[in-house]
Amino acid sequence: MKGQTLLSQADSEVLCGSDPPDDRVPPLKAHLRPDGAEETSGMERLLRKCQIRNQLVRECMAECLGVYVLILFGCGSVAQVTTTKDKKGQYLSINLGFALGVTFGVFVSRGVSGAHLNPAVSLSLCVLGRHPWIKLPFYILFQVLGSFLAAATVSLQYYDAIQAYSGGELTVTGSTATAGIFATYPADYLSMWGGVVDQVISTAALLLCVLALGDQRNSSLPDGLQPVLVGAAVLVIGISMGSNSGYALNPARDFGPRLFTYIAGWGVDVFKAGGGWWWVPIVAPCVGALLGTLIYELMIEVHHPLSPPELQTSCQEATEGKMGLELEGGGARL
């Protein structure tokens, strides 16, 4: 990722994954005059006019900003390491950049959207029934937009450094290639099939960790600790599974910056490199996320004992079913 998600106060927002907890827009604070009447400043009145009350729009903006923070720190760390030729950071710096980017991206957006920050995560939560399918395309669109804008910001910030490092030539491959600052590319030895397997395994591992952190019946964690541990999961995946192809883990994290490089001067080679590698970080993470979700659900979550409310619901359903059968039997005898 370099990418991922997390929950806020409602245990299932990102890690365990449902919708955000509250549809209400909290009002801006107003000061009270001595006579008890509310007094608002000009800035507060202006901000009130900017409030958006449509819940889906608010969630999409939160996803966009959360992914923006993730990619800003993540790709920014790659830019620093690359353009300084490892003098101001090394591979671990990149791992930390993406891990902390995920952590702060989650903190930014989790209270509004649940901080999915990853189309593969959003897809998995839809499959689990914890996120509405109708919202999925909107989440994906704004996740990609956030990563695109972040890549543009990194390019702007490091423009002079990139030009100096590359000699003014923006290339995808070679000793002074800079396209890898923004999107992932496979190692020279990696086959296409090997890259698919790599991304499926690493994204499955991510979802296993994310679902475990969000499963309150497995381990109850302090609310503020969960984003940090999601970042830690991204860190350990980068440390252990990053050398093959840069551990994209996230279709939006890869496609948004890749699209930016295509537009910004790197050209069509960003889609041709690696034998047409570009589709692997889009498709394989989604497959891996579904696989990781299935493994966790079948091996852990479905085996939890029912909670008291679930037991009560189950008993009510059983009672209603029994009464229905008795009524049917009585009607048959009549």
What single-letter DSSP state applies at residue 26?
A: P
The total number of structural domains that make up the chain: 1
Widest CA span in the chain: 93
What single-letter DSSP state applies at residue 262?
A: I
The CB-side HSE value for 94 (13 A sphere, CA atoms) comes to 24
Backbone φ and ψ of 39, nearest 5°: -130, 125
Residue type, 64: C
- pTM greater than 0.75 (yes/no): yes
Q: Return the residue matching tokens 């009560």.
A: 312
In-domain check, residue 249: yes
Q: Which pLDDT score is estimated for 268?
A: 97
pLDDT tens for the chain, residues 1 to 334 = 444 444 444 434 444 444 555 555 555 555 555 555 456 688 888 888 888 889 999 999 999 999 999 999 999 999 999 999 999 999 999 999 999 999 999 999 999 999 999 999 999 999 999 999 999 999 999 999 999 999 999 999 999 999 999 999 999 999 999 999 999 999 999 999 999 999 999 999 999 999 999 888 888 888 889 999 999 999 999 999 999 999 999 999 999 999 999 999 999 999 999 999 999 999 999 999 999 999 999 999 999 887 767 566 655 655 665 555 555 555 555 4
Query: For position 54, which CATH number holds?
Result: 1.20.1080.10
In-domain check, residue 313: no
What single-letter DSSP state applies at residue 31?
A: E
| Residue 257 lies in domain | 43-301
Q: Return the residue matching tokens 């990563």.
A: 147
Q: Is 18 left (phi over 0), alpha (psi -120 to 50) or beta?
A: beta
Q: Which pLDDT score is estimated for 46?
A: 85
Q: Which pLDDT score is estimated for 27?
A: 53
CA neighbor of 228 nearest in space, from 115, 102, 70: 102
Q: Is the dihedral of CA 110, 205, 253, 19 positive or negative?
A: negative
In-domain check, residue 254: yes
In-domain check, residue 164: yes
In-domain check, residue 24: no
Q: Return the residue matching tokens 């991304």.
A: 199
In-domain check, residue 36: no
Please list the alpha-helical segments (H only) found in the chain: 42-50, 55-83, 91-113, 119-127, 136-157, 159-166, 192-214, 226-241, 251-261, 269-276, 280-299, 308-333
Exposure of 86 by Cβ count < 10 A (0-12 exposed, 13-18 middle, 19+ buried)?
exposed
In-domain check, residue 319: no
In-domain check, residue 82: yes
